[in-house]
């Protein structure tokens, strides 16, 4: 088994994974906290998290005879390019390239075949199964769980996609990594909506990633201004982490930024119909929120940073067949007009003050 583990790590690296660690297949340490989090309603409308909590907190109920949890990590960090011109919306870095589920699932199928040839029975997951993946990643020493709840690694910072392989092969578990957050509270302090309510506790209902992705309905008005120019997810607590100083560019070309990430203005997105949306976001994780969710987000961003030049495009959407889009377009128009009126009044007051001077 020791030799098998060495060969496993080498094979995972050949597939493109940056980390391969082993955790014991038992109940993870935060199982009760997870249940409490669900009971407090902090998961919002993500009902699937509450389905079968016993299976989600015990891999032995998922795969009979499981002996080990193989934790795999893939770095996805990409540098920020220089941009200029019209107002652009921010997209979470994980969605800049191809859908990581599809990229990693292909690699997991190959890994599963490799393990089956060596006598193992497996179940594989990429953020899609009943797994507390960050718990198992921390147990395996693939990093430690930061105060933002994100997994942090001294070499890759918070920029790791995680995948898990439950296997019946008895592989030696790795040692956990100690917590290196210390007294730092940068992620708690920077959260635009104060969604990180305490260290390692997030109220999803306040989180911009939840509001712009998982939330299928109207974005509560109390959070719209805080969303700023974000149109899909939020990297604020990741970007501010001091461990980012060690971040390095991903070697997976599929995660490279596509043209729409930095080359499209917010107004450009407003012209997308359903076919155009599906074509533009083919193989992108953004496709999962559909046109209605994405243009809802774009309207909110324009309401926060748009100009009168954006009003004609927004006004066309007030009659959109999708009520969710029409509602948020009307809100954006009101915000831009209010801001324009205020700016004009301030400019006039400044001119009057100067003339008196």
Give me the active site residues, please.
127
Half-sphere exposure of 95 (CA within 13 A, CB side): 24
What is the rounded CA–CA span in Å between residue 157 and residue 150? 10
Burial of 20 (0-12, 13-18, 19+ CB in 10 A): buried
Q: Contacts by 333-341 with C-beta closer than 8 Å and gap 24+?
A: 333/303, 334/303, 335/303, 335/304, 335/306, 336/302, 336/303, 336/306, 336/307, 336/308, 336/310, 336/311, 337/311, 340/307, 340/308
Residues contacting residue 213 through CB under 8 Å, at least 6 positions apart: 232, 233, 288, 289, 293
How many CB atoms sit inside 10 A of residue 328's CB? 28
What is the rounded CA–CA span in Å between residue 263 and residue 251? 22
What is the rounded CA–CA span in Å between residue 313 and residue 316? 5
Cα dihedral across residues 348, 227, 101, 16: positive or negative? positive
Here the tokens at position 278 are 């599906």
Interior angle at CA 252, CA 251 and CA 254, nearest 5 = 150
């Amino acid at each position: 088994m020791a030799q098998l583990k060495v060969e496993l790590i080498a094979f995972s690296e050949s597939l493109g994974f940056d980390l391969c660690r082993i955790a014991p297949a038992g109940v993870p340490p935060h199982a009760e906290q997870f249940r409490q989090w669900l009971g407090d309603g902090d998961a919002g409308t993500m009902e699937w998290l509450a389905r079968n909590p016993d299976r989600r907190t015990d891999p032995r109920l998922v795969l009979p005879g499981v002996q080990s949890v193989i934790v795999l990590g893939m770095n996805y960090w990409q540098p920020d390019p220089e941009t200029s011109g019209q107002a652009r919306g921010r997209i979470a870095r994980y969605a800049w390239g191809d859908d990581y589920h599809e990229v990693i699932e292909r690699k997991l199928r190959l890994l599963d075949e490799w393990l089956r040839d060596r006598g193992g029975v497996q179940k594989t997951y990429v953020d899609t199964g009943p797994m507390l993946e960050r718990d198992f990643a921390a147990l395996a020493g693939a990093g430690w769980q930061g105060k933002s709840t994100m997994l942090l690694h001294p070499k890759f910072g918070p920029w790791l996609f995680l995948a898990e392989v439950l296997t019946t092969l008895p592989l030696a578990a790795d040692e956990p990594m100690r917590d290196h957050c210390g007294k730092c509270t940068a992620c708690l302090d920077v959260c635009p909506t104060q969604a990180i309510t305490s260290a390692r506790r997030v109220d999803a209902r306040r989180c911009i990633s939840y509001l712009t992705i998982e939330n299928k309905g109207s974005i509560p008005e109390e959070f719209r201004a805080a969303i700023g120019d974000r149109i899909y997810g939020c990297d604020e607590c990741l970007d501010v982490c001091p461990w980012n100083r060690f971040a390095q560019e991903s070697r997976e070309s599929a995660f490279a930024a596509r043209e729409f990430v930095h080359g499209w203005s917010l107004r450009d997105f407003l012209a997308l119909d359903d076919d155009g949306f599906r074509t533009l976001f083919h193989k992108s994780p953004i496709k999962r929120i559909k046109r209605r969710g994405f243009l809802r987000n774009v309207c909110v961003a324009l309401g926060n940073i748009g100009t009168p030049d954006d009003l004609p495009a927004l006004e066309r959407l007030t009659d959109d067949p999708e009520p969710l889009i029409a509602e948020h377009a009307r809100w954006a128009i009101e915000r831009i007009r209010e801001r324009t009126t205020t700016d004009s009044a301030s400019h006039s007051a400044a001119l009057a003050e100067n003339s008196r001077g």
